[in-house]
Structure 1
Amino acid sequence: MSKILVTGGAGFIGSNIVEALVDRGDEVTVIDKLSTGSEENLEEVKDRIDLIQSPCADIPELEFDNPEKIFHIGIPSSSPMYREDPLLVGSAINEFIKVMELAKENDSKVVYASSSSMYGRCDPPHREDMEVEAFDYYTEARLAMERLAKVYHELHGVNSVGMRFFSVYGPHERAKGKYANILSQFFWKMKEDQEPTIFGDGEQTRDFTHVSDVVKACLKAAEENLGYEIINVGTGTETTFNEVVDLLNEKLGKSIEPKYVENPIENYVHRTLADLTKAKSLLNYEPSVELEEGVERMIERNRN
């Protein structure tokens, strides 16, 4: 049994990680300000965790019982959030520093959420050794965190793994609302017989990754002594938005046509596709949930 801190542990990915940790018997503390998370996400484990309702900015003022591992998932996780409030860049970076300071003091391993959005100007398949650059507020924040993680390893020996997540979807996502994965947003609309809106022609792609595979990869990363690493977490398969609509129609037994509108987003990411060579080598990671199965799980979970 390990003592573990999960930031953003009431959010989408964080709550799925918390459930997995509790199920295997770990002692889990969650810190979450409940902005895009909810206590409902932790309903099944609420009596077996400590929940601190607070932002990560408060970490220096809080008391933690020497966490051996920190899963830092409580980071604003959608590019539109940063477009709406560019000051999130500074707060996200400062909160990351506070997490790394806590790790330094307690000799904690850190697994933190990074993003496949960094590959927006790279041709797929996307590899961790590609030269990436910030092209919006969101990617600037994530790149700065990865650079700081390297600094903390070189200066203080903090072991960390940045997980570049590819288009994660699955249970506990509802609280994210308009910031949820596009697959989930399409599903919620089509389930209610509403047409999904697609920017452009619908031929843009994403490497849609079920949250259970993300949890598996994160837990594996926390068990390894990797020093400083950046690792992709995806499936190695890309799917167009048009194909997503077709799949949802098939599984829901509907025939809803999407609404196509001109893409209003500058620096839009048109394709994501994970190269999993590193994840397989360092973590023995293999994705196990194909998109069709993931959609079927989503439908089953949301049956009225």
Structure 2
Amino acid sequence: MSNVLVTGGAGFIGSNIVEALVDRGDDVTVLDNFHTGTRENLEKVIDEIELVEAPCKKIPDYDFGDLDKIFHIGIPSSSPMYRENHLLVGEAINEFIKVLELAREKDAKMVYASSSSMYGRCEPPHSEDMEVAAFDYYTEARLAMERIAKVHNEFYNVESIGLRFFSVYGPHEQAKGKYANIITQFYWKMKKDEKSLIFGDGTQTRDFTHVSDIVQAALKAADSNHEYEIINVGTGKETTFNKVVEMLNEKLDKSIKPEYQENPIKNYIERTHADISKAKKLLDYKPTISLEEGIEQMIQREN
């Protein structure tokens, strides 16, 4: 059994990690400010965890006791959030440093959420050895975090693994609202017989990854003996938005055509496609949920 802190543990990805940690018998503390998290996401485990309602910037105000592992998932996770509030870049980075300092104090292994978005100017498939560059506020924050984690490893021996998540969807997304994955947003629309909105012609792609596979990778990363790594977590497959609509129509027994609009977003990412060979090698990671299975599960949960 490990003593574990999960920041953002009431949010989408964080709550799925918390459930898995509790299932395997770990002692879990959740820190969350409930920006896009809810207590409903933790209803299965609420009596088995300690819940602290606070932002990461308040970490120095709390005594978390002994910690073996920290999952830092409580990072603003959508590019539009940063477009709406540019100051979020500095806030997210400063909170990241506070979590690193806690990991240093507790001699705890840290696993944190990075992003596939930084491959936006790279040709797929995307591998960790590619030269990436920030091209918007969101990717600037995430890339800075990876660099700062490296500094903490070199200066203070803080062990950390950054996981570049690829287009995550699955249970507990409801509270994310307009920031939810595009699959989920399409589903919410189409089940009400409304048209999905697609920018462009729908040929853009994403490597859609079920949250259960994200959880698998995160736990394996925390249990590994790697001192510092950046690792992709995806499926190794890309799917067009048009194909997602087609699959949803088939599963819902509908024939709703999407609405296409000219793309108003600058620096829009046209394709994501993870090279997951590093995850396979270092974490023995293997994606288990196909897109078809993930969509079927989504529909079954809400029926």
> Aligned ranges for residues 286-301 of structure 1 at < 5 Å?
286-301=286-301
Query: What residue number does 1:207 align with?
Result: 207
Query: What residue number does 2:109 align with?
Result: 109
Q: How many Å apart are 1:170 and its aligned residue?
A: 0.1
CA distance in 2, matches of 1:290, 1:164: 19
1:91 aligns with 2:91: yes
User: What secondary structure does 2:58 align onto?
Assistant: helix
Query: What letter is aligned with 1:127?
Result: S
1:261 aligns with 2:268: no
CA distance in 2, matches of 1:226, 1:26: 21
User: What secondary structure does 1:31 align onto?
Assistant: strand
Query: What residue number does 2:243 align with?
Result: 243
Q: How many Å apart are 1:67 and its aligned residue?
A: 1.1
Superposed CA deviations along residues 54-102 of structure 1, whole A, max 9, x for unmatched, are 0001001111012110000000000000000011100000000000000
Q: How many Å apart are 1:298 and its aligned residue?
A: 0.3
Query: What residue number does 1:65 align with?
Result: 65
Identity rate, percent: 71
* TM-score for both structures, normalised by structure 1: 0.99
Query: What residue number does 1:53 align with?
Result: 53
Q: How many Å apart are 1:194 and its aligned residue?
A: 0.6
Query: Which consecutive aligned stretches of 4+ in structure 1 deviate over 6 angstroms post-superposition?
Result: none
Q: How many Å apart are 1:224 and its aligned residue?
A: 0.6
Superposed CA deviations along residues 200-237 of structure 1, whole A, max 9, x for unmatched, are 00000000000000000000000011111000000000
> Aligned ranges for residues 145-184 of structure 1 at < 5 Å?
145-184=145-184
Superposed CA deviations along residues 177-218 of structure 1, whole A, max 9, x for unmatched, are 000000100001101111000000000000000000000000
Unmatched segments (≥5 aa) in structure 2: none
Query: What residue number does 1:29 align with?
Result: 29
- Cα RMSD (Å): 0.4
Query: What letter is aligned with 2:239?
Result: T
Query: What residue number does 2:220 align with?
Result: 220
* TM-score for both structures, normalised by structure 2: 1.00
CA distance in 1, matches of 2:39, 2:67: 22
Query: What residue number does 2:120 align with?
Result: 120
CA distance in 1, matches of 2:164, 2:10: 20
Superposed CA deviations along residues 6-48 of structure 1, whole A, max 9, x for unmatched, are 0000000000000000000000000000010100000000000
> Aligned ranges for residues 182-201 of structure 1 at < 5 Å?
182-201=182-201
CA distance in 1, matches of 2:5, 2:25: 14
CA distance in 2, matches of 1:189, 1:67: 42
CA distance in 2, matches of 1:144, 1:16: 26
User: What secondary structure does 2:51 align onto?
Assistant: strand
How many correspondences in the alignment?
Answer: 303
Superposed CA deviations along residues 221-259 of structure 1, whole A, max 9, x for unmatched, are 000111110000000000000000000000000000100
CA distance in 1, matches of 2:22, 2:102: 22
CA distance in 2, matches of 1:103, 1:35: 23
Unmatched segments (≥5 aa) in structure 1: none
Q: Which moved more, 1:55-64 or 1:2-11?
A: 55-64
Query: What residue number does 1:5 align with?
Result: 5
Query: What residue number does 1:77 align with?
Result: 77
Query: What residue number does 2:38 align with?
Result: 38
Query: What letter is aligned with 2:79?
Result: S
User: What secondary structure does 2:57 align onto?
Assistant: helix
